[in-house]
Homo-oligomer: A and B are copies of this chain.
């Protein structure tokens, strides 16, 4: 898997919060999100704690508490979430797993992989939560996995 499960959950939750942020300024409870996104509550909690300590979210305990995006959704890119949870590995690691990959002694697939890797990075970096989340509504896309499979 390209992204860890934790990372995809983090992205889905972030998109969910970005969509909510346009409607209210309140905190969103993790329990509610975990139900709507079909993600284990405790697992999601741990993931969002990572995003909180990474400075992407702010959290508040107690009734009316929950979690919210720290910055405006337009200012948060998908790469922020990915890096906070999975680290930079995907964008820096060698495709063939050789330690110390570099330009001087590159492996046979270096050029192609470096190209794809960069494209992946720029794609994630170029997508902010606001625009991505708005597409969910306008194009009737899905966020949760409660739909039937096809292909």
Contacts and interface: CB of A to CB of B under 8 A. Distances in A.
Interface of A: 1-3, 5, 8, 11-12, 15, 78, 89-90, 93, 95-102, 104-109, 112-113, 116, 119-120, 123, 127, 132-133, 135-136, 140-145, 147-151
B1 A93 contact: yes
A98 B142 CA distance: 9
Contacts of A144: 98
Number of copies: 2
A53 to B, nearest CB: 23
Interface secondary structure of A, over-half rule: loop
A100 B95 CA distance: 27
A145 B108 contact: no
A147 B111 CA distance: 20
A149 B99 contact: yes
16 contacts: A2-B90, A11-B96, A98-B144, A98-B145, A99-B145, A100-B150, A100-B151, A102-B151, A105-B141, A105-B147, A108-B135, A109-B123, A109-B132, A116-B116, A116-B120, A119-B119
Nearest first, the 7 closest Cβ-Cβ pairs linking A and B are A100-B149, A8-B97, A112-B123, A108-B132, A8-B96, A98-B145, A105-B142
Given A98-B145, A107-B142, 20 more contacts: A1-B93, A5-B97, A8-B96, A97-B145, A98-B144, A99-B149, A100-B145, A100-B147, A100-B148, A100-B149, A100-B150, A100-B151, A101-B151, A105-B140, A105-B141, A108-B141, A109-B127, A112-B127, A116-B116, A116-B119
